[in-house]
Amino acid sequence: MYRHGVGATALVVLGVVLACSTSRQLPDSGWPPDAAGEPNVDVVGRWHDCTSSTTYAPDGSMRWRDHRRGCASSGRWAVVGSWLHVEGQASACGPAYRAVSRVVRTPHALVTVDPETGRARTRWNDATPRALWLLTEADRATVLRVVGEPGDGTGVGCYWSADGACGGLLSCSGWVDRWRREDDRLVASTACGGGCPCGAELVGRFVAPDRIEGTYRGANCEMPYTGTFTAILQPDPMD
């Protein structure tokens, strides 16, 4: 979730909007000023990126689940024109927060834009294919999740070490640039940033619908590396 400060006026309005979230009415103060006359964007549904799922229920309640950390939080939401207001409760995921963002709904995705930083975040709808894989090699394990098809603008993917530290394959964590099945063959690539950027290519074969066996090779700022992996399809986390 985006977490950023908003001005005092915005916070007052947010409290009014969230208290009456099911009414979807423009606050009396008129904030934001350019929302008057705009139709409210429909955000109701469940939306996914590679690390989390967010549910906006018709009654104005919200549920957010962090698949990487295995925690969840609840809250309230409201839409005024193209502005999405959310208020999350304190939980194992972190402290309580409030946020306001511009929101656009496409046929398959929900895009929110932080008005202060311009950073955009895309979440795909519940009908978008999702897969959660556990990649293992000896005593090391990495969790990899893809939503849609990364690499062509219709999806996203990322990975992280199963031990919550850096005991996995490839790197501590990173993103999936490509994850494509061609008949019984997998072609994929990953990358990571930070102080030691890295990249890897994975080639595998589907020996069963829920099992891939393959090899990977990559390089980071220190050295090249290679290995073999077995990937087992896991149940997709549901809220």
- The rounded percent of the chain whose pLDDT value lies above 90 is 76
pLDDT tens column, 85-114: 999 999 999 999 999 999 999 999 999 999
Q: What are phi and psi of 16, to 5 degrees?
A: -65, -45
**What confidence tier does 36 reach under pLDDT thresholds 50, 70, 90?**
low
The closest alpha carbon to 164, from 67, 90, 234, 86, belongs to 67
Is 41 in contact with 79 (CB distance < 8 Å)? Answer: yes
Per the rule left: phi > 0, alpha: psi between -120 and 50, beta: everything else, 57 is beta
- pLDDT(34) > 70: no
Average pLDDT, the chain: 86
**What confidence tier does 239 reach under pLDDT thresholds 50, 70, 90?**
low
Note every long-range contact of 185-191, with CB atoms under 8 Å and residues 24 or more positions apart, other chains counting.
186/212, 186/214, 190/159, 190/218
Q: To which H or E segment does residue 199 belong?
A: strand 198-208
- pLDDT(12) > 90: no
- The rounded percent of the chain whose pLDDT value lies above 70 is 84
Q: Rounded distance, CA 97 to CA 59, Å?
A: 20
What is the structure's pLDDT at 2? Answer: 36
What is the structure's pLDDT at 194? Answer: 87
Is 162 in contact with 68 (CB distance < 8 Å)? Answer: no
